[in-house]
């Protein structure tokens, strides 16, 4: 019997499935927790790196982007502010946790990856420390098999241009190879 956790994932609309899914956090990734970017874009009260809109717009054309943030349904405001389309969000507050993982998001991420088992993933989260991810044999196996790229930006500065390039190169590589 296959367990389904599809109720946990809030999809905006049905779109053509991409080969790669990007799980994107907000705080410490899009929003620096300390130092403001040199080249900034201010939208409302939020200050972003000015490179983010173009990168996220391009990324949303070649991968499905799901929010993996405590902002959950409010995350869509960030997509609106930055001018790209997301596929939905992971609603981890709805999950009845059965595993004793130290990182609260990890079990919901596992369930999401099981539901989308034929795809590759990019996890971008400032809390995605290797020692937290090692608790999950699923994520560890996906990393070993080249189906998961983990990007852990420095929360103080947010995602860097180098990290954005790593994500884009990985997604391009997967899309071309499959």
Spell out the SS3 assignment of the chain: CCCCCHHHEEECCCCCCCCEEEEECCECCCECCCCCCCCEEEECCEEEECCHHHHHHHHHHHCEEEECCCCHHHHHHHHHHHCCCCCEEECHHHCCCCCCCCCCCHHHHHHHHHHCCCCEEEEECCCCCHHHHCCCHHHHHHHHCCCEEEECCCCCCCCCHHHHHHHHHHHHHHHHHC
What is the residue-averaged pLDDT of the chain? 87
Domain region containing 70: 7-177
Residue 139 located in a structural domain = yes
**Tokens representing 38?**
């040199």
pTM above 0.85, yes or no: yes
CATH for 119 = 3.40.50.1000
Confidence of residue 10 (pLDDT cuts 50, 70, 90): low
Q: What is the CA radius of gyration of the chain?
A: 15
- Mean pLDDT within 136-151: 95
Residue 46 has pLDDT above 70, yes or no: yes
End-to-end CA, the chain: 29
How high is the pLDDT of residue 15? 46
Q: Check pLDDT > 60 for residue 50.
A: yes
- The residue assigned the tokens 């369930």 is 111
Number of domains observed in the structure of the chain = 1
Residue 51 lies in a domain: yes
Mean pLDDT of 2-28: 66
pLDDT, residue 11, reads: 53
Can you give the pLDDT at residue 93? 72
Within a domain: 2: no
- Examine residue 1 and state whether it is found in any structural domain, yes or no: no
Mean pLDDT in residue range 108-130: 94
> Which of 19-23, 65-69, 89-93, 153-157 shows the lowest per-residue confidence on average (mean pLDDT)?
89-93
Q: What is the pLDDT of residue 2?
A: 37
pLDDT at 14 exceeding the cut of 90: no
């Amino acid at each position: 019997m296959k367990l389904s956790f599809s109720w946990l994932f809030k999809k905006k609309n049905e779109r053509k499935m991409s080969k790669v899914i990007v799980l994107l956090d907000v705080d410490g990734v899009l929003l620096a927790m300390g130092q403001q970017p040199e080249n900034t874009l201010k939208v409302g009260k939020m200050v972003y790196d000015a490179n983010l809109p173009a990168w996220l717009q391009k990324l949303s054309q070649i991968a499905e982007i799901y929010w993996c943030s405590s902002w959950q349904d409010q995350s869509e405001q960030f997509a609106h502010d930055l001018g790209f389309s997301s596929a939905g969000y992971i609603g981890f507050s709805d999950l009845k946790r059965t595993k004793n993982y130290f990182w609260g998001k990890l079990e919901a991420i596992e369930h999401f990856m099981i539901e989308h088992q034929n795809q590759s993933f990019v996890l971008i989260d400032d809390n995605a420390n290797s020692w937290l991810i090692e608790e999950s044999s699923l994520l560890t196996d996906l990393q070993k098999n080249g189906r998961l790229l983990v990007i852990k930006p420095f929360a103080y500065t947010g995602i860097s241009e180098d990290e954005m390039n790593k994500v884009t190169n990985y997604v391009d590589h997967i899309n071309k190879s499959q």
